[in-house]
Structure 1
Amino acid sequence: MLPIISGEQVKHLDQQYISAEGISSLDLMERAANAFVAWFTTTINPNIKQVYIFAGPGNNGGDGVAIARLLQERYYNVHLFYLQEVADCSADFKANYSRLPDKVLVTKFNEWNGIIAEHSVIIDGVFGVGINRPIEGVFQRLIQILNKATALKIAIDIPSGLPADQIAFGTVFRADHTVSFQFPKLSLLFPEHASFIGELHIMDIGISEETMDAFQVGRFYLRAKDIPSLHRSFHRFSHKGDYGKVLIIGGAKGKTGAINLSAHAALRTDSGLVHLAPYLEDPYLIQPIISELMLFQDDSKQNLNNFDAIAIGPGWGMGVDIAYYQSILARFQKPIVIDADGLNLLAANPDLIHKIPKNSVLTPHLKEFERLVGKSKDHLERMEKAKNFAIANGLILVLKGAHTLVTLPDGRQIFNSSGNQYMATAGSGDVLTGMIASFLGQGYSPEHAALCGVYHHGLAGELASKSKWRGMIASDIIEAIPRTFLELGIK
């Protein structure tokens, strides 16, 4: 997994890598510029040829100047604007400035007429990760002008004005795309910053994870390449018992669709046997959505240890007898998955939290999390509360949303890279619950079950949305689950 390095450590990381590799800072900047241009030329509409690049005086501006040269070499019409006398800019900025071909149109910002041609691209290279105060003066005026422009907007590494590790505190460039180098900066993962970042793209510039590990602070970014090693292997002699026996508890009257979705998702994630235990007076009145699902009538006295994994909460309702909830926690001592009303009941009855088996996986969305631990002023505070909650209770907390955050009992926090906005649909969370329960039932460690569940869930949403777009529903995500294993090369 990619370590997420603090903004103040990025310079030290670069220096250590440069020294270890025997290259110059200019060489590393050239790698970044080439990575950006490779992304640009394969992603942006090739019919857009007019590019406006705005370069600040530091190394983010130096990236912009190098990108100007490389794009011009690929026959783009490039207009470069610099904001400070070149003599006062960073050494690498000046070195790249001296390499500019004559065909790049260069203008000092205070001499610009303010015109942006239609169907063009704006590239922001004004400020990088080092900013620690609100931008002002000519820089603020420029960002305000660019934010009003109708062109496609792209930020180099981080939108100008956005601090690397904190919540935004002033004027910030509003990008349609942010192309960040080597790892995502922490603030690029905050929901408060969605309108500044647009689509996030992480480009590898060759710094090894081993080098980055020396600077890690317990925050990581989960990618597709990290997933295969987390999976268990099965063989041709494996039978359905090896793939786990899973129980989904929930589904009060009028809400049985939730446990159906969870159970169906568990089957599609490769569970061998899946049972439903609806919270109904006569549980056999429920109609399973697929024939492979079985029913289980739980009466608070039965032995649950015949199951390999249990998930509780989807569609459960708030009318559940707390003594029954307690009985589940007492009768099943292995890690469980708790979602939806299972979480809301914990918030209303906090003494239950201490009875949850250690390393269980809780999967709240933002509101459910707020009910559990109280309100947070921003995502940074929310992350800290998640960390404290996980450590104090020995639990895994999966905070759902864009870049779903998995917080482990040892305090590590892992952001997910898969998924998209089309997954914001009823039942999507129930699907995730079933997937994590499935991996638990197959014998995965709770940590690996949570990480595999979160990544495969997001990837299934991406795959399903390619044909469904805004019309995607939770059932579409379930049907795409098998394809996620194919995409990741997992047999």
Structure 2
Amino acid sequence: MKIFTKEQIRECDQFTILNDHISSIKLMERAAQSCAHWISEHCKSHKKFVIFCGNGNNGGDGFAIARLLHTEGFDVDVFVSNPKSKFSDDAQVNFERLEGVSGISVKKFDEVDQYSFDHETLIIDALFGTGLSRVLDSEFKDLIDYLNTINTVKISIDVPSGLFADGISDDNSSVFKADYTLSFQFWKKSFLHPESGKFTGKVEVLNIDLNKDYITTAETSDFVIDDDLIKGVFKPRLEFSHKGTYGKVTIVAGSYGKMGAAVLSTTAALKTGAGLTFSLAPDCGYNILQTSCPEAMFIKGGDQYIDNFEIDENSFCGIGPGIGTGEETQKSFLQFLKEHSKPLVLDADALNIISENKKNLKLIPQNTIITPHPKEFERLFGATENSFERLELARKKANEFHIYIVLKDHNAQIITPEGNVYYNITGNAGLAKGGSGDVLTGVLTSLLAQGYSEEEAAIFGVWLHGKAADYAAEKYSKESMLPTDLINEFGNVFERINKKIARKL
């Protein structure tokens, strides 16, 4: 799914109005109907809806939603700055329609502290939409600050009020903190970054049938990984195949006391379809790996740590989990990079070794996938003020070194050498445990061996890793799930994908 800027979203609305022969007020009604339908289906236990409406088109959406929910039999109250305010043209039409409905009371913002909110009251925010580009004035700032103190379910229409669609808001600005955001047609970029996404709650993207020609042809470099993209990337298992069909993987991982990292990466490679899997590790981990991963073959890379990076040139290699940063390991690894030209998967200590000297970055083979978490990225490329700046720096570095960067975060971002960004929306806070990244290293290396391109492997691998984590969280909870639990869920994810593809045949 494409991510558009607020200007492109406005253009898409106008293009739809002009080319689909629909008036702006009817398009607003369509959007309101999608919201009212979602709310009536998912919020049946709530007895009363209180909708806060601004003077622009987001407020117009709110007025229409109020009318439609009232028609469905819900109790609805509406708050505005002033009933005699100047509204946008479409908002004015919907406000007049609302005034014609008996049973909906319209109150002023300054009456909100006299209103009785209880646990059955649901608050709907329709104050500001995607067009907001300024810090809120005192009236709206005070209102939002007050609403954020009320302990009840809150829904934002299109964008939480006070949040900018394309970037980060000022540190001192007030933003409505929603439990759900009902976004029209598209994800907004700000929903996907930690500094701003914390205000959205669960995002539900509602299809309002904006013009498909515009969506198809309009250019963007930002995307969300969705099911359609995954179906296009996934390579079903061939019936007439053998172990050689799915490539050779070598996982270079582990050192004394850190053999768990090698086990996790190796097992993940096996469970995601690699044809032949080797584990290059120190001899101290021989018994552990042969017992934990009997399907993988062991290659001795040293005694207590790895100091020998001799790898079959026909093998796809993932390097880094638990190898440490000892002097001999560093020396051998950097020498290996000087002599190796095939794309790699680099994580953890491999990245830490490279970050010791900026000149080492030039040793990374082109088209390699690196998977830094924020601190590893900072050590490699330098500090940034926030995740938006970090992403732009990642675009620059991916292009400069012609590599793929997987920025591990709540919504991981895959950055290509061409500057495209793919945001992943699978996964959860249960992945915030040591070992989760080791699993991802094994997954990515396995997919490369199976014939996925570097871009495909990064997109599919990160999505697969997150989806398995979602399944694991359902079974064990985010708090209790382990990296081994998500490895055990890979089979369920593959089963789901294969079933979806089979149904389309």
Residues of 2 paired with 1:188 and 1:301: CA distance? 42
* Counterparts of residues 250-399 of structure 1 (less than 5 Å): 250-278=253-281, 280-281=282-283, 284-288=286-290, 289-298=292-301, 300=308, 302-307=310-315, 309-319=316-326, 320-330=328-338, 332-399=340-407
- SS in structure 2 opposite 1:132? coil
Residues of 2 paired with 1:128 and 1:111: CA distance? 23
- Relative to structure 1, the CA distance from residue 209 to residue 226 in structure 2 (aligned partners, 3 Å threshold; closer, same or farther) is farther
- SS in structure 2 opposite 1:163? coil
* Counterparts of residues 68-79 of structure 1 (less than 5 Å): 68-79=66-77
1:54 is aligned to 52
1:135 is aligned to 136
- SS in structure 2 opposite 1:475? helix
* Residue 153 of structure 1 pairs with residue 154 of structure 2: yes
* Counterparts of residues 52-201 of structure 1 (less than 5 Å): 52-85=50-83, 88-100=86-98, 101-112=101-112, 113-169=114-170, 170-201=173-204
Whether the 8 Å CA contact 2:283–2:300 is kept in 1: the answer is no
Residues of 2 paired with 1:153 and 1:32: CA distance? 19
- Relative to structure 1, the CA distance from residue 287 to residue 89 in structure 2 (aligned partners, 3 Å threshold; closer, same or farther) is same
Residues of 2 paired with 1:403 and 1:221: CA distance? 10
1:224 is aligned to 227
1:32 is aligned to 31
Query: Shift of residue 293 of structure 1?
Result: 2.0
Whether the 8 Å CA contact 2:55–2:85 is kept in 1: the answer is no
CA RMSD of aligned residues (A): 1.9
* Counterparts of residues 436-475 of structure 1 (less than 5 Å): 436-469=444-477, 470-475=479-484
Residues of 2 paired with 1:337 and 1:479: CA distance? 22
Whether the 8 Å CA contact 2:256–2:284 is kept in 1: the answer is no
Pick which of 338-347 and 214-223 moved more.
214-223
Query: Shift of residue 435 of structure 1?
Result: 0.9
Whether the 8 Å CA contact 1:258–1:314 is kept in 2: the answer is yes
What TM-score, normalized to structure 2? 0.92
> Any idea what the Cα deviations from partners look like across 1:191-228, whole Å, max 9, x if unmatched?
11243122222222222554135443311111122101
Query: Shift of residue 382 of structure 1?
Result: 0.6
Residues of 1 paired with 2:9 and 2:111: CA distance? 33
Residues of 1 paired with 2:329 and 2:212: CA distance? 49
Whether the 8 Å CA contact 2:317–2:344 is kept in 1: the answer is yes
Sequence identity percentage: 38
Query: Shift of residue 41 of structure 1?
Result: 2.9
Query: Shift of residue 378 of structure 1?
Result: 0.9
- Relative to structure 1, the CA distance from residue 194 to residue 12 in structure 2 (aligned partners, 3 Å threshold; closer, same or farther) is closer
Query: Shift of residue 149 of structure 1?
Result: 0.8
Pick which of 438-447 and 94-103 moved more.
94-103
> Any idea what the Cα deviations from partners look like across 1:159-192, whole Å, max 9, x if unmatched?
1111112211111111111121111111111111
What TM-score, normalized to structure 1? 0.94
Which one-letter code corresponds to 1:38 in the other structure? Answer: H
- Relative to structure 1, the CA distance from residue 5 to residue 428 in structure 2 (aligned partners, 3 Å threshold; closer, same or farther) is same
> Any idea what the Cα deviations from partners look like across 1:422-470, whole Å, max 9, x if unmatched?
2212211111111111110101100000000011111111111111112
- SS in structure 1 opposite 2:183? strand
Whether the 8 Å CA contact 1:57–1:84 is kept in 2: the answer is no
Whether the 8 Å CA contact 1:420–1:461 is kept in 2: the answer is yes
Query: Shift of residue 157 of structure 1?
Result: 1.0
Residues of 1 paired with 2:24 and 2:408: CA distance? 39
Residues of 2 paired with 1:293 and 1:74: CA distance? 60
1:430 is aligned to 438
Whether the 8 Å CA contact 1:402–1:420 is kept in 2: the answer is yes
Residues of 1 paired with 2:243 and 2:212: CA distance? 38
Whether the 8 Å CA contact 1:312–1:337 is kept in 2: the answer is yes
Residues of 2 paired with 1:33 and 1:371: CA distance? 47
Query: Shift of residue 333 of structure 1?
Result: 2.7
Pick which of 225-234 and 438-447 moved more.
225-234
- Relative to structure 1, the CA distance from residue 399 to residue 52 in structure 2 (aligned partners, 3 Å threshold; closer, same or farther) is same
Residues of 1 paired with 2:125 and 2:226: CA distance? 26
Which one-letter code corresponds to 1:271 in the other structure? Answer: A
Which one-letter code corresponds to 1:107 in the other structure? Answer: K
- SS in structure 2 opposite 1:123? strand
1:203 is aligned to 206
Residues of 1 paired with 2:181 and 2:156: CA distance? 5
Which one-letter code corresponds to 1:65 in the other structure? Answer: F
Residues of 2 paired with 1:106 and 1:202: CA distance? 29
Whether the 8 Å CA contact 1:277–1:283 is kept in 2: the answer is no
The size of the alignment, in residue pairs, is 487
- SS in structure 2 opposite 1:148? coil
Which one-letter code corresponds to 1:484 in the other structure? Answer: V
Query: Shift of residue 152 of structure 1?
Result: 0.8
Residues of 2 paired with 1:326 and 1:208: CA distance? 52
* Residue 485 of structure 1 pairs with residue 487 of structure 2: no
Residues of 2 paired with 1:43 and 1:400: CA distance? 32
Residues of 2 paired with 1:490 and 1:350: CA distance? 45
Query: Shift of residue 90 of structure 1?
Result: 1.1
* Residue 405 of structure 1 pairs with residue 413 of structure 2: yes
Which one-letter code corresponds to 1:410 in the other structure? Answer: E
Query: Shift of residue 61 of structure 1?
Result: 0.8
Query: Shift of residue 384 of structure 1?
Result: 0.8
Whether the 8 Å CA contact 1:223–1:418 is kept in 2: the answer is no
Residues of 2 paired with 1:77 and 1:234: CA distance? 54
* Residue 7 of structure 1 pairs with residue 6 of structure 2: yes
